[in-house]
């Protein structure tokens, strides 16, 4: 399951014939045909209920990171407030996963502000949490950049409570950029 991410992992999981895969993203719709707008309290409640009912083994989160380049200061502050609210929601989902004996994986650029937020610091400080820095380009991740392919330059941080995910990342990127 994915939270606030267009269905990327879900698509790959379906290709591998995994079951129970879904994405809670504004590009997708709920069973009533409404967009998963997690900025709305009612949709966050519905998401929590869905997670309680489905009990996904793994939730992958990628909080919003708004492009503020052409925004006024007021718009920038509003987007920042929304992003922090969403991050708190994600960490709430992650804590529920841990309490239920299930897993989460959180991905965000290393330099991103969310890593400095109290809710993320608290989650990262938990005994079962594993925080890793991954140099994506050195581990072979490619992204489409208009018409050309380019290696991602900015390192990311991954936070998970899954020893298997952490070990796989270490093996996949052995001596190539996992710290």
Show the tokens assigned to 25: 């993203």
Least confident of 24-28, 56-60, 131-135, 144-148: 144-148
Residue 144 is predicted with a pLDDT of 55
**The pLDDT of residue 53 is above 80:** yes
More confident residue, 42 or 154: 42
DSSP, collapsed to helix, strand or coil, labels residue 82 as helix
Residue 94 is predicted with a pLDDT of 94
Does pTM surpass 0.75?
yes
CA 174 to chain centre: 23
Handedness of CA 140, 151, 160, 37 (dihedral sign): negative
Q: How far is CA 18 from CA 56, 93, 139, 161, in A?
A: 12, 22, 25, 21
Show the tokens assigned to 148: 């050309």
Residue 99 is predicted with a pLDDT of 94
Kindly give the residue spans of alpha helices, DSSP state H, lying in 55-156. Answer: 73-99, 118-124
**The pLDDT of residue 134 is above 50:** yes
**The pLDDT of residue 3 is above 80:** no
**Which range has highest mean pLDDT (4-18, 76-90, 131-145, 161-175)?**
76-90
Could you tell me where the beta strands, DSSP code E, fall in 2-155? 2-3, 23-24, 58-61, 103-109, 130-134, 142-145, 148-151
Strand order in the sheet with 23-24: 23-24, 2-3, 58-61, 103-109, 156-160, 130-134
Band (pLDDT 50/70/90 cuts) for residue 151 is very low
Q: How far is CA 91 from CA 4, 22, 32, 94, 124, in A?
A: 12, 19, 26, 5, 10
Question: Average pLDDT over the chain, rounded to whole?
Answer: 77
Least confident of 85-94, 131-140, 154-163: 131-140
């Amino acid at each position: 399951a994915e939270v606030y991410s267009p269905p990327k992992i879900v698509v790959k999981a379906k290709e591998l014939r995994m079951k129970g895969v879904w994405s809670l993203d504004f590009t997708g719709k709920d069973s009533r045909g409404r967009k998963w707008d997690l900025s709305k309290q009612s949709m966050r409640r519905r998401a929590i209920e869905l997670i309680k009912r489905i009990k996904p083994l793994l939730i992958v989160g990628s909080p919003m990171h708004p492009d503020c380049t052409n925004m006024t200061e007021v718009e920038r502050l509003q987007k920042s407030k929304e992003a922090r609210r969403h991050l708190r929601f994600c960490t709430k989902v992650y804590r529920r996963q841990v309490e239920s004996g299930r897993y989460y994986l959180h991905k965000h650029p290393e330099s991103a502000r969310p890593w400095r937020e109290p809710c993320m610091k608290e989650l990262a400080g938990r005994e079962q949490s594993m925080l890793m820095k991954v140099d994506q380009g050195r581990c072979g991740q490619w992204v489409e950049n208009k018409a050309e392919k380019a290696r991602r330059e900015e390192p990311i941080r991954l936070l998970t409570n899954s020893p298997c995910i952490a070990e796989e990342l270490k093996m996949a990127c052995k001596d190539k950029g996992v710290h």
